[in-house]
């Protein structure tokens, strides 16, 4: 009575909880982490160049300073655009990624619940069989208790059992 999750997985309870989607989902994290790192690097570059522009704007407006200011602004423009593009991409993708976790984890949870159902169903069957074997004698609880005590007394009377 195995639960089918996928053709490439085994039939044991541990393999039931594995899902191809979970493996696929964990593979997304490295690329997402790299995108965050690239955005952080772009932010650092942007801040560095922005402070350079601000430094030149605070200086006296002489010819060489104005030239350096224009050069710094020209350097800043593509870096700022790069940062804004990476930031916008992450702002668009992160909520989608966060919402997609349900699609990836739901099959694993379903497989786990199915495995638990199979396990507890089997345990119920075994318990029922054992209960039926015990009840075959048609004894009452008191008679079964006396019988158990008699067997325990026999065991205690053996020479290999130490007295407490």
pLDDT for 147 equals 87
pTM of the full predicted structure?
Answer: 0.50
Determine the Cα–Cα distance for residues 110 and 39; give it in Å rounded to an integer.
Answer: 36
* The predicted structure's pLDDT at residue 2: 38
48-82 confidence digits (pLDDT tens):
999 998 998 888 888 888 888 899 899 999 999 99
> What is the three-state SS of 20-63?
HHHHHHHCHHHHHHHHHHHHHHHHHHHHHHHHHHHHHHHCCCCH
Can you give the length of the chain in residues? 164
* The pLDDT value given to residue 34: 85
Q: pLDDT of 126-144, one tens digit each?
A: 999 988 877 766 778 888 8
Query: For the residues 102-115, what does the mean pLDDT come to?
Result: 86
pLDDT at 8 over 50: no
d(CA 75, CA 45): 10
Tokens coding 100:
């997609």
> What is the pLDDT averaged over residues 4-8?
38
């Amino acid at each position: 009575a195995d639960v089918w999750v996928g053709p490439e997985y085994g039939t044991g309870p541990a393999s039931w909880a594995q899902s191809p989607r979970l493996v696929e989902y964990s593979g997304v994290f490295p690329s997402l982490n790299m995108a965050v790192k690239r955005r952080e690097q772009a932010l650092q570059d942007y801040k560095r160049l922005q402070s350079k522009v601000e430094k030149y704007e605070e200086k006296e407006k002489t010819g060489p300073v104005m030239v350096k200011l224009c050069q710094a602004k020209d350097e800043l423009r593509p870096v700022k655009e790069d940062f804004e593009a990476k930031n916008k991409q992450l702002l668009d993708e992160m909520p989608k990624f966060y919402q997609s976790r349900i699609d990836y984890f739901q099959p694993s949870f379903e497989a786990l619940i199915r495995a638990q159902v199979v396990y507890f169903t089997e345990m119920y069957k075994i318990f029922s069989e054992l209960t039926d074997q015990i009840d075959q004698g048609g004894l009452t609880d008191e008679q079964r208790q006396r019988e158990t005590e008699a067997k325990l007394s026999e065991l205690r009377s053996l020479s290999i059992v130490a007295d407490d």
